[in-house]
Amino acid sequence: MIPNWPAVDIDWQGDEQVVNQDLIALVNRQGPGIKALLSTSVAPAVARRCLEAGMAVYWWNPMMDAGEGPASLNARLQELNPVPCIATGGCTATAALVMAVQIFRPRRIGLLGFDFGYYPDVCMDHTQYYDALRVRFPRDYERYFARLVNPDLGEAYLTDVSHYCLRTALLELLDLMPCPVYNCTSGGILFGKGITTLPLKDFLGLA
């Protein structure tokens, strides 16, 4: 806990309906002061909720390909709507990172929760995409999983093809970052060129 920061204690085991209503009221109250950056691939219900709450919505297209030639998905997207296409790494976390860097222009970036894998005590059949991969590839689903050793931490982490692709996309985006990037997650498979592993406490102590 960072000293002097307010803490919010939510009883998730209590009355779920009461908690939901409180959160709905909070969004309605704060909505008019929020600017929402929404991908055109967002669920329609999410877009409606943002608009109903009075948020100012700014749209962008996810970058699907290089945008060249008649078969380009991005070219087709641009024909459907004129909003810009942005390379955001393929998931919400990396999209938030790209947007935040452009808006806040930070001197350094610290990442939390960017593990792209599972910790040593997690079994393969308890991972996010295990069921889907086993249905799609019943005979060789295990080949879509791998254990990678994080050399900065000296620990092996289980990952799957989806998380590995997201990791690869983020590492490519790091080449475009205008400032140093530190991984403060203390776990997972995000390591390599363009990123430094550092405990959160040490990152917060940087001048």
Give the model confidence (pLDDT) of 143-182 as tens digits.
Answer: 999 999 999 999 999 999 999 999 999 999 998 899 999 9
Give the structural domain span for 174: 108-207
Whether 52 and 118 share a structural domain: no
**162 — alpha (psi -120 to 50), left (phi > 0) or beta?**
alpha
**28 — alpha (psi -120 to 50), left (phi > 0) or beta?**
alpha
Whether 28 and 70 share a structural domain: yes
Residue 76 covered by a domain = yes
Pairwise CA distance, residues 92 & 68, whole Å: 25
Please name the residues in contact with 96: beta carbons below 8 A apart, sequence gap of 6 or more.
none
> For residue range 29-76, what is the model confidence (pLDDT) as tens digits?
999 999 999 999 999 999 999 999 999 999 999 988 876 777 888 888
Residue 5 covered by a domain = no
Whether 82 and 112 share a structural domain: no
In 3D space, the residue among 76, 88, 39 whose CA is nearest the CA of residue 61 turns out to be: 39
Whether 119 and 195 share a structural domain: yes
pTM of the entire predicted model? 0.78
The helix (H) or strand (E) run that includes residue 198 is: none
Counting the structural domains of the chain, the total is 2
Residue 49 covered by a domain = yes
Whether 194 and 135 share a structural domain: yes
